[in-house]
Chain A
Amino acid sequence: MNQRDAFFDATLVMKDAIINDPFIVEQNSKSNDMWLRLYSRLNPEGKLEMRYHVHGCPHLIAISSMVISDLQNKSIQELETLDIKEYAKIIDLPKTKKDRLFLLEDALKECIKHFKRG
């Protein structure tokens, strides 16, 4: 998936009742109005199901879409080892837009904490 495909891919956008009773985490950027909301839960096999809502620049939308797509059906251990910086390279994230990466990274860390707490 490239940046453009990821930007336009709305398959994993949260719609009503796609995930019942998810863990919801929202990260807001302090410097602008961008935000990312993740909806996640573990299925009976202990694998991730994740959906999202996002508002912001094309880079934030693309990287969120790409990462969340790759995390479907992954375990928490696999989520922990995810290297988001690799995605930044794929979408050619400008240095001035590093904060987009942090939004996603912080949201995923919250997910990990939540699921580890059980």
Chain B
Amino acid sequence: MKTYLDFASTTPMATAVIEKMHAVMSEDSFGNPSSLDHEYGIKAKNIIEQSRNEVASLINAKSEEIVWTSGATESNNLAIVGFHQFQYQNQALRFVTSHLEHKSVIESMQSVEALGSNLSYIQPNKDGQIDLETFTRQLDPDATFVSCMHINNETGAVNDIGEIGRYCRKNEIIFHVDAAQSVGKISIDVSDMCIDLMSMSAHKVYGPKGVGALFINKDSVGRVKSLIVGGGQERGMRSGTLPTHQIAGMGVAYRISKQTMTQDIEHIKECRDTFLEKLSILHGWKVNGSIDNAFPGILSISFSDLYSESLIYAMEDFAISRGSACSSDHDEPSHVLKSMGLLDHEINGTIRIGFGRTTSLSEVESAATQLIKAIIHLRNLKGDTP
């Protein structure tokens, strides 16, 4: 079995999450949480509401501001398209996003653009980050809606969400945050950060796949239009019978993340620093983005003289990836790395390594050792000096 070092793509479920989900599936909790005429439904509903509280508690929201979805991709679609359809009945607005975003944000934005809205993009700074200065310098002065991710899934760059949120609130701009990579990993306070809509995922923080949530600020947004109709669940904003066991798993994952966040980040930082220290004996590589402004669990490294596919192949005992999991299925160069100004050969030589709660320091050291061997082998094949 390979050592897993792709925590930005997904994470293994925590034992307590599996146990809770198993218990929910085994016990008399199989009722439909919308069937409140009997105890089966009520029991399921209680589990769901308990989990809703856990999610809300992690981000300092009210429980009624949490809408369950199938994951962050659906949450992004619902936040952007659902907001546009409900609040403005598809009339033309001015939307703003960035070149760093996940495709589910970019393509949702493009779908509202196709309905006549204006769409503009913020270019990140050279470190692949959007800070307040970068943001305000490029912002469309008539912007109505801004979507900006918190932690970038390819480089780990952390955007200045608090500052951007406060600027948007002051200027009456609706602010959506894709927090798929950040929630449960770094601290988020939706009230302090002036966030209006926020997308969340369970499986990036040791929860199950297939479940996520959208935070909808009750005061500033209130409602979005459901993209899935027929059932009226989630106060009419997301139809479909709720998956009790998955939601229960997400609740436990978020509770654990809240409890262990500080020690997790310290451990992950130690993993990253150990890895980079070992790699420092080599020449010809660079970390994409700034170490100081990045989440340490995501490390994007470019070897401009090598081919990432071969590097990954040579790392036979480790599961690492070329770019984001969503884009490594096809050969298009990463739009994120391109927006940071990387050249094609640098993108071709980029790998992403992800550290997590369960990564051990000995695994990190072994991975660095094997990567060094791989680089020496591939440079030897080219006739270059290792």
A residues with a Cβ closer than 8 A to B are 4, 7-8, 10, 13-14, 32-34, 37, 53-58, 61
Contacts and interface: CB of A to CB of B under 8 A. Distances in A.
A103 to B, nearest CB: 14
A7 B383 contact: no
If over half of B's interface residues share one DSSP class (helix, strand or loop), that class is named, otherwise mixed; here it is helix
If over half of A's interface residues share one DSSP class (helix, strand or loop), that class is named, otherwise mixed; here it is mixed
A53 B310 contact: no
Contacts of B316: 4
B108 interface: no
Contacts of A57: 307, 309-310
Contacts of B309: 57-58
B348 A32 contact: yes
A13 B313 CA distance: 19
Contacts, number: 41
Given A7-B313, A7-B314, A61-B310, A55 B381 contact: yes
B380 A10 contact: yes
B342 to A, nearest CB: 14
B43 to A, nearest CB: 50
Interface residues of B, number: 16
Given A53-B383, A57-B310, 10 more contacts: A8-B314, A10-B377, A10-B380, A10-B381, A13-B380, A32-B348, A33-B345, A53-B381, A54-B382, A56-B307
A53 B313 CA distance: 18
B377 A58 contact: no
A58 B274 CA distance: 28
Contacts of B348: 32-33
A83 to B, nearest CB: 25
Given A4-B316, A7-B313, A58-B313, A13 B381 contact: yes
A7 B310 CA distance: 9
Interface string B295-325: 0000000000011011001101000000000
A34 B309 CA distance: 12
A8 B310 contact: no
B344 interface: yes
Contacts of A8: 314, 377
Contacts of A55: 306-307, 378, 381-382
Given A7-B313, A7-B314, A61 B381 contact: yes
